[in-house]
Structure 1
Amino acid sequence: MSRELLLLVGFAVTNRAVCVQLVERGRPVVAADDAPDDHARRLAAELGVDLLERPSPEDWPSLVAGVQAVVPTPGLPESHPSLGAAAAAGTPVISEFDLAQRWDDRPTLAVTGTNGKTTVTLLAAAMLEASGIPVTVAGNTETPLVEAIRDSRPSAFVVEASSFRLAHSRCYRPTVGAWLNFAPDHLDVHASLDSYRAAKAALWSRVDEKTISVVNRDDPVVVEYAPDRGRVVTFGLDDGDFRASGGALWVGSEKLADVAELHRPHPHELANCLAAAAVAMAGGAHADGARAALLAWTGLPHRMVLVGERDGVRFFDDSKATTPHAVCAAVRSVGQSPGQAVLIAGGRNKGLDLRPLAEAADQLRSVVAIGEAAPEVQQVFAGLCPVVVVESMEEAVSAAAETSLEGDAVLLSPGCASFDWYGSYAERGDHFSRLVREMIGGSP
């Protein structure tokens, strides 16, 4: 193969955008996909690009030999034979972030972390826009960064930086890089927890004197990896350049907002607000813009959304919580006192150890276990609180309602992916919410 050729492994949203850009720039490219759909085939034909379907493990050494670089689709498991073949051949593996930075020199503000990435990315973008700085959100969203740079309007990009992209970035260096938190996740993609941690840490692996790193003072893993070069900005609930104190959010000695003014005052939401302000102001936002966005922010769907209340019991949709770390934070935020939460948890495990869920046990009245991981959930809470295993979301809502008492909170916070019963966490949350609303509407 030609030394100028780039090999795209996987031909879904991101690599399709990469392919379009490469073709427009006159670069030779070939794509390979283990299970291409009709859209992939049509696009490849329209672009005049060869699409190799379902290569066998034995095919990969010859495919990667001689190409300039391999561009894996985000989320390609580290065990995929293409990556092993590339390593054996000494062929570089790069990300869409690398390509975007080569093609566009506008600033990027990158946000990574196990939980809260989307919230912080969107809220930081709102703060920048409120400060008169046009930005576009890209990365681990509907718009890959290589697609976003086609737009001449933004003066900067706020990038949701997943471990999937960071792990394969060889030269990407964001202008601002924020690491929110770290907890086990995506072990169905990464070879180990160490590999996942290293992927996150790659965000700061190329900092220089011009970059700004945003560090969560409350997370020991993040603090351990904090850069010793460039400018470092910290945030934390009790301490940091951006902090919560005396019922308000502060940057230095300047108040950004009173907590009572915010729509989402849960502790982990406050941490997200502080992180977003740190990112946005590092990127040029002013305090007034940050405050305006904070006061307008009502949160995102399926993230601690109050669906309704019946007989003094509140029902929350937190379907986006797909790690034990996120579940424990959610349970702590809704429990008015110990033992006043009913947790609906389970789904398809992402290769994670679910035992940390037990940290929430003292806040729970009971647990309703759902999906493929129901036996694991049941085992985690055995002897700690009552657990009932159900076979559908209808049964889950009914069981949670029957178990709960006045003053309780029922929380769909699964700690697992949705792909056993649903096509996405949004579909799962929508079904739960619809069932709750039907139950409330049908009650006397």
Structure 2
Amino acid sequence: MTGAPELDALGRSSSWSGVRAVVAGFGVSGYAAADTLQHLGASVLVVDETPRDDPDAARPDQGWVEKVELLEVFGVEFRLGAGSTTELPDDVDVVVVSPGWRPSAPLIAAALDRGVPVWSEVELAWRVRADDAAPWLVVTGTNGKTTTVQMLEQILRAEGLNAQAVGNVGRPVVEAVMDTDDPADVLAVELSSYQLHWTHSMSAQASAVLNVAPDHLDWHGGLEHYTADKARIYERTQIACVYNVDDPTTEQLVAEADVVEGCRAIGFTLGVPGLSMLGVVDGILADRAYVTERVSTAAELGHVSDLGTNPAPHLIANALAAAALARAHGVSPRAVRDGLQAFVPDAHRIAEIAVVDDVRWVDDSKATNAHAALASLNSVPVAEGRAVWIAGGLAKGASFDDLVLEVADRLRAVVLIGVDRDVIAQALARHAPDVPVVEVEVGDTDPMDRVVEVAASFAQPGDTVLLAPGCASMDQFANYAARGDSFAAAVARWQTTS
């Protein structure tokens, strides 16, 4: 330390004077962390590769320069531009790292070598929450995090609580916990594996891992390390560790977690629930976990139809997970039902954008890994037709063999895009050699017009043309939303000319 008090002794009411903090990355969470640290009295240096004079070249953040200038008024220092993040200053007490920064990044590696604590913005938020702070209901998983947290927020609000969805879903957690104008009663917190990697002391009221499947393996260095970071969410949980009965890995993570005494393991399943589980009985969402006589009875939480007409299986699973977390907080069955009825999914999540000549066109651009693409393909009503699957992008080190093995009989054809399309093409050649595959060249500035034209040539009445790439989008698009918007626009243009 540089003469500052011990970090573990510091909290919201402490003076952080003398603490030298480096904030790595100046995005949404980096701004919130730097603002909070300077407010508490710390000396703050922000490092970011974005050049001050040309931020649009590296990031689309609105008001990025204005945020830099605002914090400079309050004494925050900035080191910006190429090479600014390669060296760690000598007199540093803590590094607060933005999501996505690898442990191998020179600045982070230097901190770890020196024994300098590295925190996520989430870790900072936990340490500076108020003594009477709102409890945290936290969610992670390879897929379904945002949907589950948004469902959870709606359920909690239906109970009359001031609930806020924060974390990876949008608003930084530290911003929410420092908000004295509109303090939350309870926080629904979405956490990515990136955030969890640098989170060390959080103790949630209830926590959930929705599923674990290969993703971000290039960042984590393998599935074992990725899984271990997901498991951090269960540590020190107070009331309930929620797991997916149909994903044994999640139950094993609960069994291995060091939790607060009395914390329960609560499962959710698409089947009939056993004891201490939530599940589905004849179309009814049933709770056999939070009822007194759970050996012989269950509480009705609503109906599957509350989620819309023929909801996808993973959407039902997300609803059960959200309900399990809300019930751990003491929410009534009525609020679960009302909240789920009020829930509206975000765009680009199995969103039907057109029906032309009895062919459904569906945008699930949010399916950015193989596990999500599998769930999306399994939602296609095969009794009516098959899927023309649009896939590809940045594979992030993932394999597609298991996915193709499971869905080969559902495929009418496959249209591939992106730099890693060959990874999927090879899996299809091995396990679905009879399925037609067309690759749209990566050099196309916007491949979607060609993609839609090819997909339409294969689709038959009853089929679903499904954009579920199974890959990240940044090789050709700004983000998954831009990819989905491009697809929808191309479908609209095709409709006017076909």
TM-score over 0.5 for the alignment? Answer: yes
Q: Are the structure 2 counterparts of residues 406 and 96 from structure 1 closer, same or farther at C-alpha, using a change threshold of 3 Å?
A: same
Return the letter of the residue paired with 1:186: H
Q: Which residue of 2 aligns with 1:389?
A: 439
Q: Which residue of 2 aligns with 1:51?
A: 78
CA–CA separation in structure 1 for the residues paired with 2:107 and 2:399: 28
1:11-30 mapped onto 2 (5 Å cutoff) = 11-30=26-45
Return the letter of the residue paired with 2:280: A
Q: 1:142 aligns with which of 170, 174, 191?
A: 170
Query: Structure 1: which 5+ residue stretches go unaligned?
Result: none
Equivalent position SS for 2:285: strand
1:13-412 mapped onto 2 (5 Å cutoff) = 13-37=28-52, 38=55, 39=64, 41-53=68-80, 60=87, 62-63=88-89, 65-104=90-129, 105-151=133-179, 152-207=182-237, 210-227=238-255, 229=259, 230-238=263-271, 239-240=273-274, 241-252=277-288, 253-263=298-308, 265-337=311-383, 340-358=386-404, 359-382=406-429, 383-391=433-441, 392-412=447-467
1:420-439 mapped onto 2 (5 Å cutoff) = 420-439=475-494
Return the letter of the residue paired with 1:387: V
- The structural deviation recorded for 1:384 is 4.7
Equivalent position SS for 1:94: strand
Cα deviation, 1:192-242, whole Å, max 9, x if unaligned, reads 2222111101111233xx332111111111011114641222111113521
- The structural deviation recorded for 1:70 is 1.2
Return the letter of the residue paired with 2:215: D
Return the letter of the residue paired with 1:98: E
Equivalent position SS for 1:249: strand
Equivalent position SS for 1:121: helix
CA–CA separation in structure 2 for the residues paired with 1:409 and 1:147: 42
- The structural deviation recorded for 1:302 is 0.5
Contact 1:134 1:155 in 2 (8 A): yes
Cα deviation, 1:52-100, whole Å, max 9, x if unaligned, reads 235759953x52x442211111111232112221221111111212221
Return the letter of the residue paired with 2:25: G
Q: Are the structure 2 counterparts of residues 223 and 438 from structure 1 closer, same or farther at C-alpha, using a change threshold of 3 Å?
A: same
Return the letter of the residue paired with 2:35: V
Contact 1:14 1:73 in 2 (8 A): yes
Equivalent position SS for 1:396: helix
- The structural deviation recorded for 1:378 is 1.6
CA–CA separation in structure 2 for the residues paired with 1:386 and 1:77: 39
Cα deviation, 1:114-137, whole Å, max 9, x if unaligned, reads 000000000000000001111111
Q: Are the structure 2 counterparts of residues 306 and 29 from structure 1 closer, same or farther at C-alpha, using a change threshold of 3 Å?
A: same
State the TM-score, normalizing by the size of structure 1: 0.93
Q: Are the structure 2 counterparts of residues 92 and 261 from structure 1 closer, same or farther at C-alpha, using a change threshold of 3 Å?
A: closer
CA–CA separation in structure 2 for the residues paired with 1:164 and 1:27: 25
Q: Once superposed, which parts of structure 1, at least 4 consecutive aligned residues long, lie more than 4 Å away?
A: 54-59
- The structural deviation recorded for 1:43 is 4.1
Return the letter of the residue paired with 1:275: A
Q: Which residue of 1 aligns with 2:291?
A: none
Q: Which residue of 1 aligns with 2:11?
A: none
Equivalent position SS for 2:254: coil
The percent identity for this pair of structures is 38
Segment of structure 1 superposing worse, 258-267 or 358-367 = 258-267
Return the letter of the residue paired with 1:297: F
CA–CA separation in structure 2 for the residues paired with 1:373 and 1:304: 23
Equivalent position SS for 1:8: strand
Cα deviation, 1:364-389, whole Å, max 9, x if unaligned, reads 11100012122222212111511011
State the TM-score, normalizing by the size of structure 2: 0.84
- The structural deviation recorded for 1:102 is 1.9
Segment of structure 1 superposing worse, 402-411 or 3-12 = 3-12
CA–CA separation in structure 2 for the residues paired with 1:425 and 1:348: 11
CA–CA separation in structure 2 for the residues paired with 1:102 and 1:302: 35
CA–CA separation in structure 2 for the residues paired with 1:163 and 1:17: 19
Segment of structure 1 superposing worse, 354-363 or 49-58 = 49-58
Return the letter of the residue paired with 1:377: I
- The structural deviation recorded for 1:245 is 2.1
CA–CA separation in structure 2 for the residues paired with 1:138 and 1:7: 23
Contact 2:413 2:458 in 1 (8 A): yes
CA–CA separation in structure 1 for the residues paired with 2:95 and 2:377: 42
Contact 1:337 1:363 in 2 (8 A): no
CA–CA separation in structure 2 for the residues paired with 1:300 and 1:58: 35
Q: Are the structure 2 counterparts of residues 13 and 236 from structure 1 closer, same or farther at C-alpha, using a change threshold of 3 Å?
A: same
Contact 1:32 1:55 in 2 (8 A): no
CA–CA separation in structure 1 for the residues paired with 2:46 and 2:85: 17
CA–CA separation in structure 2 for the residues paired with 1:226 and 1:440: 50
Equivalent position SS for 2:118: coil
- The structural deviation recorded for 1:411 is 0.3
- The structural deviation recorded for 1:34 is 2.6
Contact 1:263 1:297 in 2 (8 A): no
CA–CA separation in structure 1 for the residues paired with 2:165 and 2:243: 21
Contact 1:335 1:363 in 2 (8 A): no
Equivalent position SS for 1:215: strand
CA–CA separation in structure 2 for the residues paired with 1:262 and 1:159: 22
Alignment length (residue pairs): 439
